[in-house]
């Protein structure tokens, strides 16, 4: 009897706890998000990949904040100004605290910059020559040369707490992050779930959603299933084949938006190319144009990408600095097999030629299929493509500049800083003449005019002037065709009705901007 009553009591207690739990749920908004993979890091200086980036921006803040549409505005820095050509002064936001209560000060920024320099990510501070704290809430940064887009770069540098980071050490920082961001880490069980709770003292206001749970679900079909069963509210990268099925569900919305990632084909312009016998035909602009006009981007969109790609008009998306309004690669070099053949005859290659295309099979959406489609398209004009397809773990080392193995490479490029300058400097600047320029110029393209324009753009303090110079550079590149822009992939999300979410161009899902009913 006694046992029975004790059990009854226990059941009663469980019931009460259950009611309390549901009541708490009704008050506190929560959301569960299905990601494609578990983050590798929670420490911004340990490395970068998408899932980790998503976590970083929940836990930490940069000085300059990037909006979902890639506009740049105040973050931990309230305002900034140029003292002279190469000196910037940033006024920091007062009364900001880290999750542990430590005040955010200029010393933390100085610490972060210096820490980044010795880490695996020195690229984050490559354009900072020196940094000093003027007072507690003012810092001064000098750049090695005039550099108009420094604030855009700073949007990727997340500020660490000097005291905490020093005491915790790099290895533990990955497990116990501490920033000023809108969310704090509650629990991270690797490969299972990562739970964030709202930081009530967040400087931009208390987050609306109190608990955010991220679940890594690698298999696309399982991700769809988890959404359909209601186990998650939002999923990233809905599989293309599931789009129709999910659209039929009444309480789920499918959202797609073009990403920033431009899939491009780099052509070798050296006199001799590793996979081509004899002289390299692609030194001739007409041959490069012939290749461009043999590629049917719409067919790739329809057949390979199921309509989920956006053909590229230039090397950077429309809202980037350096984009020329109204200029369209697809109109300049439309698909025209006859024209393409004629150009090859004109250039002295009536019988075409043979070369190898290097591509990945696990990096871009349907990358191996795109490579196969390219081979059959180029075959129509007499160019034989041999495919060399490999996983990304081999790929990046294989195509590494100096490109000793490749003639024709398919890869992707994005510029989250919203500025064509860094892309042009890295991909199209003459190789080996200036430190930090041309380091990824895989086709060894060289045009002194282009180089001069990039130099001018990087030497001016004014954003308008930079835009002008880079637009000129875009025009040259569109005429020279050192690379063929193919398409932007589309990011596809599926969201349960009642959850408000705007996909960001940079793919960084950010719960602070989301809401649930």
CB of 101 to another protein, least distance (A): 27
Alpha carbon 45 to chain centroid distance? 16
Q: Does 396 bind another protein (CB under 8 A)?
A: yes
Binding to another protein (CB under 8 A) within 143-182 occurs at 170-171, 174-175
- As given in the structure block, the two tokens for residue 308 are 């989920």
Q: Match 């009897």 to its residue by tokens.
A: 1
CB of 457 to another protein, least distance (A): 17
Task: Give the nearer residue to another protein in terms of CB position, either 395 or 488.
Answer: 395
* Contacts with another protein, 451-490, as mask; x by CB under 8 A: ----------------------------------------
Question: Are 494 and 227 contacting, i.e. CB atoms less than 8 angstroms apart?
Answer: yes
Question: Are 151 and 81 contacting, i.e. CB atoms less than 8 angstroms apart?
Answer: no
Identify which of 379, 409, 415, 385 has the alpha carbon closest to the alpha carbon of residue 397. 409
CB of 195 to another protein, least distance (A): 13
Q: Does 504 bind another protein (CB under 8 A)?
A: no
CB of 170 to another protein, least distance (A): 7
Query: Which positions ≥6 away from 479 have C-beta within 8 Å?
Result: 285
Q: Does 120 bind another protein (CB under 8 A)?
A: yes
* Contacts with another protein, 251-290, as mask; x by CB under 8 A: ----------------------------------------
Task: Give the nearer residue to another protein in terms of CB position, either 228 or 476.
Answer: 228
- As given in the structure block, the two tokens for residue 232 are 């998650």
Radius of gyration of the chain from Cα atoms?
A: 26
Phi, psi of 185 (to 5 degrees): -75, 125
Q: Does 303 bind another protein (CB under 8 A)?
A: no
Q: Does 411 bind another protein (CB under 8 A)?
A: yes
CB of 496 to another protein, least distance (A): 15
Q: Does 134 bind another protein (CB under 8 A)?
A: no
Among 273, 422, 474, 490, binds another protein (CB under 8 A): 422
Task: Give the nearer residue to another protein in terms of CB position, either 46 or 463.
Answer: 46
Task: Give the nearer residue to another protein in terms of CB position, either 297 or 415.
Answer: 415
CB of 194 to another protein, least distance (A): 11
Cα–Cα distance for residue pair 141/386, rounded to 1 Å: 50
DSSP-derived 3-state class of residue 191: coil
Q: Does 193 bind another protein (CB under 8 A)?
A: yes
* DSSP per position, 308-347: -EEE-SSSS-TTSBT--TT--HHHHS---HHHHHHHHHHT
Cα–Cα distance for residue pair 442/259, rounded to 1 Å: 23
Cα–Cα distance for residue pair 382/467, rounded to 1 Å: 40
Q: Does 424 bind another protein (CB under 8 A)?
A: no
* DSSP per position, 427-484: HTSPTTSSTTSSTT-TT----HHHHHHHHHHHH-S-HHHHHHHHHHHHHHHHHH-SEE
Task: Give the nearer residue to another protein in terms of CB position, either 227 or 297.
Answer: 227
- As given in the structure block, the two tokens for residue 97 are 């605290």
Task: Give the nearer residue to another protein in terms of CB position, either 242 or 268.
Answer: 242
Task: Give the nearer residue to another protein in terms of CB position, either 38 or 467.
Answer: 38
**CA–CA distances in Å: residue 165 to residues 19, 44, 103, 112, 214:** 41, 12, 14, 9, 25
Q: Does 40 bind another protein (CB under 8 A)?
A: yes
Give the range of 44-52, 143-151, 288-296, 336-344 binding another protein by CB under 8 A: 44-52
Q: Does 190 bind another protein (CB under 8 A)?
A: yes
Query: Which positions ≥6 away from 145 have C-beta within 8 Å?
Result: 86, 458, 459
CB of 424 to another protein, least distance (A): 12
Q: Does 191 bind another protein (CB under 8 A)?
A: yes
Task: Give the nearer residue to another protein in terms of CB position, either 48 or 513.
Answer: 48
CB of 191 to another protein, least distance (A): 4
Cα–Cα distance for residue pair 46/207, rounded to 1 Å: 27
Q: Does 94 bind another protein (CB under 8 A)?
A: no
Alpha carbon 395 to chain centroid distance? 19
Query: Which positions ≥6 away from 436 have C-beta within 8 Å?
Result: 126, 425
How many residues at the interface with another protein, by CB under 8 A?
Answer: 51
Q: Identify whether 402 is preceded by a cis peptide bond (ω within 30 of 0).
A: yes
- Give CA angle at 278 (272, 282), nearest 5°: 55
Task: Give the nearer residue to another protein in terms of CB position, either 135 or 171.
Answer: 171
Q: Does 218 bind another protein (CB under 8 A)?
A: yes
Cα–Cα distance for residue pair 262/323, rounded to 1 Å: 14
Does the CA dihedral 400-403-405-409 come out positive or negative?
A: positive
Binding to another protein (CB under 8 A) within 225-244 occurs at 225-226, 228-229, 231
Q: Does 497 bind another protein (CB under 8 A)?
A: no
CB of 425 to another protein, least distance (A): 9
Give the range of 72-80, 200-208, 224-232, 464-472 binding another protein by CB under 8 A: 224-232
Among 362, 386, 449, 464, binds another protein (CB under 8 A): 362
Residues of this chain that bind another protein (CB under 8 A): 37, 40-41, 43, 46-48, 119-123, 126, 170-171, 174-175, 189-193, 215-219, 221-222, 225-226, 228-229, 231, 362, 391-398, 400, 411, 422, 426, 435-436, 439-440
């Amino acid at each position: 009897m006694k046992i029975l009553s004790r059990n009854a009591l226990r059941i009663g207690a469980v019931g009460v706890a259950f009611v309390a739990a549901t009541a708490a749920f009704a008050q506190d908004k929560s959301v569960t998000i299905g990601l494609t993979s578990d983050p590798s890091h929670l420490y911004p200086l340990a490395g970068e990949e998408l899932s980790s980036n998503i976590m970083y921006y929940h836990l930490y803040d940069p000085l300059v904040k990037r909006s979902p549409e890639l506009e740049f505005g105040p973050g931990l820095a309230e305002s900034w100004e140029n003292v002279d050509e190469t000196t910037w002064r940033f006024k920091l936001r007062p009364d900001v605290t880290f999750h542990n209560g430590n005040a955010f000060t200029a010393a933390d920024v100085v610490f972060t910059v210096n820490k980044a320099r010795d880490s695996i990510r020195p690229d984050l501070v490559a354009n900072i020559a020196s940094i000093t704290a003027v007072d507690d809430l003012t810092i001064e940064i000098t750049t090695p040369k005039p550099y108009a887009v420094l604030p855009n770069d700073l949007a990727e540098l997340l500020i660490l707490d000097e005291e905490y980071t020093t005491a915790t050490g790099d290895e533990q920082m990955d497990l116990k992050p501490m920033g000023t961001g809108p969310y704090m880490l509650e629990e991270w069980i690797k490969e299972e779930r990562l739970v964030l709770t709202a930081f009530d003292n967040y400087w931009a206001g208390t987050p609306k959603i109190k608990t955010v749970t991220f679940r890594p679900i690698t298999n696309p079909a399982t991700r769809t299933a988890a959404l359909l069963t209601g186990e998650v509210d939002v999923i990233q990268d809905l599989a293309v084949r599931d789009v129709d099925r999910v659209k039929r569900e009444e309480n789920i919305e499918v959202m797609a938006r073009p990403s920033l990632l431009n899939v491009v084909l780099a052509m070798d312009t050296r006199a001799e190319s590793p996979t081509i016998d004899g002289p390299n035909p692609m030194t001739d602009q007409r041959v490069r144009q012939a290749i461009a006009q043999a590629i049917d981007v719409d067919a790739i969109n329809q057949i390979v990408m199921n309509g989920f790609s956006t053909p590229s008009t230039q090397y950077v998306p429309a809202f980037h600095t350096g984009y020329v309004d109204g200029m369209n690669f697809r109109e300049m070099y439309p698909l025209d097999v006859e024209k393409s053949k004629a150009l090859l005859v004109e250039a002295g290659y009536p019988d075409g030629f043979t070369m190898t295309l290097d591509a990945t099979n696990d990096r871009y959406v349907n990358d191996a299929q795109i490579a196969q489609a390219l081979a059959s398209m180029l075959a129509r004009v007499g160019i034989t493509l041999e495919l060399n397809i490999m996983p990304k773990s081999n790929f990046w080392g294989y195509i590494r500049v100096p490109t000793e193995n490749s003639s024709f490479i398919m890869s992707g490029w994005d510029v989250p800083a919203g500025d064509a300058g860094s892309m042009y400097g890295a991909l199209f600047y003459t190789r080996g003449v200036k430190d930090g320029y041309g380091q990824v110029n895989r086709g060894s393209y060289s045009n002194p005019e282009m180089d001069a324009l990039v130099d001018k753009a990087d030497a001016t303090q004014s954003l308008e002037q930079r835009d002008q110079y880079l637009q000129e550079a875009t025009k040259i590149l569109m005429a020279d065709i050192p690379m063929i822009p193919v398409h932007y992939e589309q990011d596809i999300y599926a969201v349960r009705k009642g959850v408000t979410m705007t996909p960001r161009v940079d793919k960084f899902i950010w719960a602070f901007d989301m809401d649930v009913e």
